[in-house]
Structure 1
Amino acid sequence: MHDVFVMYNHPTDPEAFDAHYRSTHIPLVHELPLLKEFTWGHVHRDEHDSGYYLVARLTYESADAAAESMASEAGKKSVEDLANFASKGVTVLNVTRGNA
């Protein structure tokens, strides 16, 4: 399995960020082909501040499937939408799971 983690920096306007994320970006993510699972959540700011506001995890069967998904029209739309709400930037990590 392969995960794509998208880590969003703290937005200037968290309410506007959340509204756009829920109403516009999540539906775009759900259109991604080959996507096996999508989860997301806000980062707790308790003992130390990681600098991140929200983390999303997109799970695919393989790194190739993730690349194909992101190269699709739905993938391009999803990436283009970042400019509409994630003005403080994102960090993307591609992680292929190891076998235990």
Structure 2
Amino acid sequence: MSDHIQHLTDQTFTEGVAHGYTVVDFWAPWCAPCRELAPLTETLAVELAGKVRFAKLNVDDFTPLSEQYDVLSMPTLVIFKDGEPIDRIVGSMPIDQLRARIQRSI
């Protein structure tokens, strides 16, 4: 478990995305692209600390939340600002592209 990425549940989700910018990684343990993306989000969580928070939500454990945010493919990163989704990134990509997409939203 990472010190830089919060693991959300149905009980902690609303508070976890309520303030500022939060990137939520909707993932599943069986998803190979999700496993590829994990070290990239870890790196970006360190780089962008103080500007944006990073969190993860296991879609297998919390399916209603993934359905609420129309997560149909994984990985899907949803960028929240003050509790509202403002952007989404679907699929894995190189870290430079991922960084640029996130920075455009924050």
State the TM-score, normalized to the length of structure 1.
Answer: 0.35
Greater gyration radius = 1
